[in-house]
Amino acid sequence: MESKLPGVGTTIFTVMSQLAQQHGAINLSQGFPDFPCDPVLLQAVTQAMQDGHNQYAPMPGLPRLREVLARKLEAAYGQAYDPEHQITVTAGATQALYTAITALIQPGDEVLLFEPAYDSYGPAIRLNGGIEQRISLRPPQYAIDWTEVQRRVTPRTRLLILNNPNNPSTAMLSADDLQQLRTLLQQWPQLYVLSDEVYEHIVFDGAAHQSLARDPLLASRSMLVYSFGKTFHATGWKIGYCAGPADWMQEFRRVHQFLVFSVNTPMQHALANYLQTPAHYLALPAFYQAKRDRFVAAMVTSRFVLLPSRGTYFQLARYDRISDIPDTEFAQWLTREHGVAVIPLSAFHADGTDHGIIRFCFAKQDATLDAATSRLCRV
């Protein structure tokens, strides 16, 4: 059988997690917490099931949940989204990303994306006949060169994909970035933006998340994607949502109804109740900053050179004081010989660009972080 994705094998996340299990290593590779979500949320899911909310939800999502999300977005970013026509609940953020690309992209359309890039973007583009145009961002700042973006846009460029805060670089867009993007969209009326904002609430050092929803023009040309799993420590639930302009959302739902149709009903009821208390997500920056700071402080005596971590629950590090071998080999060696699994950053580049950087996930219990950093400081 001829493959539609001939160059795609097992993801590095699966490879490293399997290697960690094989060698009994502490898994700081794949981005998931090792601590439970709030018992209040778990009880809300149980109560929804006991109350009989166990059949199909409406295709776009539970109306009450979409109304709560519309209020949340307006309170956070000042943009009013119509919950009836502009918000859809999805089976996780990856499904939302794939559906948004499928709804918009026609064969031959060009899509701009920035590397290092989350690994689902490229396959989704190729499966829909799009043409990837990749722009590399360089460490340690991973800032967007808007002059380069202007140079790369053509009349065939249909979509620009942003990840903000960025996984894996942890970089965040600034207010100036939003202005640069606004200028770009004014110059190219055929261009839309897909903004992956799943780490919107995991930002550090008093920074404000610069969502594209903050600007009316950007909001009118952008599909924004969010994740309850990332926000509420429940990645296995695979539930998220997106917000965007009504015309794109109409096409989105045409695809969504045949790809997923509807999303887990009791969890939607539980989330609609849980989101009534904003403190459940507004406390996240301080919660994760404490974990970042604990990890960074413990690594001071190590030979790793840590890069700035501005957002997400990841920490990048150079290892050139330890070895000059390729990053994938180093990650495997670290897992086998020192019992800590990490992700090599070359996995986020289509051509395997290797800057000698690895990624740690610090969304872990303090005991897990302490055990991992103890091992890392002996490397």
Distance from C-alpha of 291 to C-alpha of 327, rounded to nearest angstrom: 25
Per-residue pLDDT, 11? 86
| pLDDT value, residue 296 | 98
φ, ψ at 240 (rounded to 5°): -155, -165
Q: Would you say residue 34 has pLDDT above 90?
A: yes
Residues with Cβ within 8 Å of residue 48, at least 6 apart in sequence: 265, 266, 267, 269, 270
Evaluate whether the domain defined by 39-277 bears CATH number 3.30.420.40. Answer: no
Average pLDDT, whole number, for the chain? Answer: 97
CATH code 3.40.640.10 region(s) in the chain: 39-277
216-245, pLDDT tens digit by residue?
999 999 999 999 999 999 999 999 999 999
Q: Is the pLDDT of residue 7 over 90?
A: no
Alpha-carbon distance of 208 to 233, in angstroms, equals: 21
Mean local confidence (pLDDT), 190-207: 98
Q: CA angle 273-278-284, nearest 5°?
A: 115
Assigned CATH topology for domain 12-30+283-376: Aspartate Aminotransferase, domain 1 (3.90.1150)
10 has a pLDDT exceeding 90: no
CA distance 110 to 51: 48
- CA atoms of 214 and 271, how far apart (whole Å): 24
Asked if pLDDT for residue 311 goes beyond 90, the answer is yes
Pairing type for strands 131-136 and 110-115 reads parallel
Give the pLDDT confidence of 58-92 residue by residue, as tens digits. Answer: 999 999 999 999 999 999 999 999 999 999 999 99
9: pLDDT strictly greater than 90: no
Q: What pTM was computed for the model?
A: 0.97
121 in the Ramachandran plot: left (φ > 0), alpha (ψ -120 to 50) or beta?
Answer: alpha
Output the pLDDT for position 221.
98
Q: How far apart are CA 216 and CA 205, in angstroms?
A: 27
Whether the predicted pLDDT of 149 surpasses 90 = yes
Which residues of the chain form CATH 3.90.1150.10?
A: 12-30+283-376
Residue range 255-272, pLDDT digits in tens: 999 999 999 999 999 999
